[in-house]
Amino acid sequence: MEIQDSIVQDCIQLLKDLIATPSYSKQEEDTATLLSRFLIKKEIEFERKYNNIMAYANGVDPDKPTIWLNSHHDTVRPNAGYTKDPFSPIIEDGKLFGLGSNDAGGPLVSIIACFLHFVGKEMPFNILLIASAEEEISGKNGIESLVPILPEAELAIVGEPTLMKMAIAEKGLMVIDATVKGKAGHAAREEGINAIYLAVNDLQKIRDFRFKRTSKFLGKSKVSATIIHSGTQHNVVPDTCEYTLDVRVTDAYTLEEALEELKENLNAELKPRSLRLQSSKVPQKHPILTVGIKLGMDTYGSPTLSDQALIPYPSIKIGPGDSARSHTADEFIYIQEIEKGILDYILILEKYAELKTSNLSN
């Protein structure tokens, strides 16, 4: 298998341009425009909704299934530990430095290169490129806004830094606001019911809490207390204590089921901020699992969240780069990782096409 060197070099230059263009979540207008201009130069028709870019490699055949190739172009803000300019794409010792280089610029341009490779080639499925916005905040105007207007995906390939290991399951996320009610009183007298002390009882349970069911791929669901607020002045027994729970849920639970199990064990009133970010898992007999085996790819369950949580179709998460570098100071990706990522994405689609063709002929 060969890929044009010009495609590889053009996509590496695209990544440099993306790094040099700030694209915080909800502020991705300039990178969306940058991606649009790149596709125009490549004579690729595309659509733009908000700051999301969509394009088909070979048009849409309604008689064929569709594979989504998705990654995002928004970034978090640079942290205070940077020693390099986060918006200066510098290559040193084979590493391309810059904010978003690893998460998820490297996977995004690798997916774009893979997409360009298949332009004009007959395939047994439609190939849809989606460069999404607002992924870092799971925003309403990101991938979620596209699901109702796009064809159903037989498979979505989500580009994130995974060292090209194939994540076939991913934990969901639920943030819960908890409220414990006591009774106000004067701190100098034996008055009131201290809401902080009531909350401590809950927090002790949370510290040791174990969900009943476990997942084959993702292990245990996890709940953590992350924020607590109570009291207004030193001499008043507080009547309210509020705390926040971060709940990472495996495919053994829906978010609703995990919420009910917590309600059974805690005294606080629990209100989830959202029930959108469900866990995901590839169905057992899906052909992408066979593709992974044939290509000798490692598979695993991912503890981190991505656009997978908002895609209601079978999906895998895979891409060049390392999740451990995401959101860190002096973020980088190896150029070799991008080159290998491009080839591996192409191999995945080619092997998937072989399986589809073989199944149709049998």
Instruction: Provide the pLDDT for residue 190.
Output: 76
**pTM of the full structure:** 0.90
Instruction: Provide the pLDDT for residue 361.
Output: 58
The string of pLDDT tens digits covering residues 197-209 is 999 999 999 999 9
Average pLDDT estimate for 182-195: 88
Q: How confident is the model at residue 189 (pLDDT cuts 50, 70, 90)?
A: confident
Residue 1 clears pLDDT 60, i.e. is over it: no
Q: How confident is the model at residue 187 (pLDDT cuts 50, 70, 90)?
A: confident
Average pLDDT estimate for 271-285: 92
The string of pLDDT tens digits covering residues 63-104 is 999 999 999 999 999 999 999 999 999 999 999 999 999 999
Residue 2 clears pLDDT 90, i.e. is over it: no
The string of pLDDT tens digits covering residues 219-228 is 999 999 999 9
Instruction: Provide the pLDDT for residue 217.
Output: 83
Residue 284 clears pLDDT 80, i.e. is over it: yes
The answer to whether residues 58 and 123 touch, using CB atoms and an 8 Å cutoff, is yes
Residue 304 clears pLDDT 90, i.e. is over it: no
The string of pLDDT tens digits covering residues 319-348 is 999 999 999 999 999 999 999 999 999 999
Size of the chain, expressed as the number of residues it contains: 362
Structure tokens at 246: 């971060």
Single-letter residue type at 173: L
The answer to whether residues 64 and 124 touch, using CB atoms and an 8 Å cutoff, is yes
The string of pLDDT tens digits covering residues 22-73 is 999 999 999 999 999 999 999 999 999 999 999 999 999 999 999 999 999 9
Instruction: Provide the pLDDT for residue 191.
Output: 84
Label each residue of the chain as H, E or C: CCCCHHHHHHHHHHHHHHHCCCCECCCCHHHHHHHHHHHHHCCCCCEEECCEEEEECCCCCCCCCEEEEEEECCECCCCCCCCCCCCCCEEECCEEECCCHHHHHHHHHHHHHHHHHCCCCCCCCEEEEEEECCHHHCCCCCHHHHHHHCCCEEEEEECCCECCCEEEEECEEEEEEEEEECECEECCCCCCECHHHHHHHHHHHHHCCCCCCEECCCEECEEEEEEEEECCCCCEECCEEEEEEEEEECCCCCHHHHHHHHHHHCCCEEEECCCCCCCEECCCCCHHHHHHHHCCCCEEEECCCCHHHHCCCCEEECCCCEHHHCCCCCCEEEHHHHHHHHHHHHHHHHHHHHHHHHHHHC
> What mean pLDDT, rounded, does the chain reach?
94
Average pLDDT estimate for 113-118: 97
Residue 259 clears pLDDT 60, i.e. is over it: yes
The answer to whether residues 102 and 32 touch, using CB atoms and an 8 Å cutoff, is no
Residue 192 clears pLDDT 60, i.e. is over it: yes
Instruction: Provide the pLDDT for residue 358.
Output: 80
From CA 48, how far away is CA 38, in angstroms rounded?
13
257 Cβ neighbours under 8 A, 6+ residues apart: none
Q: Percent of the chain beyond pLDDT 70?
A: 99
Please tell me which residue, 61 or 216, carries the higher pLDDT value: 61
Residue 108 clears pLDDT 60, i.e. is over it: yes
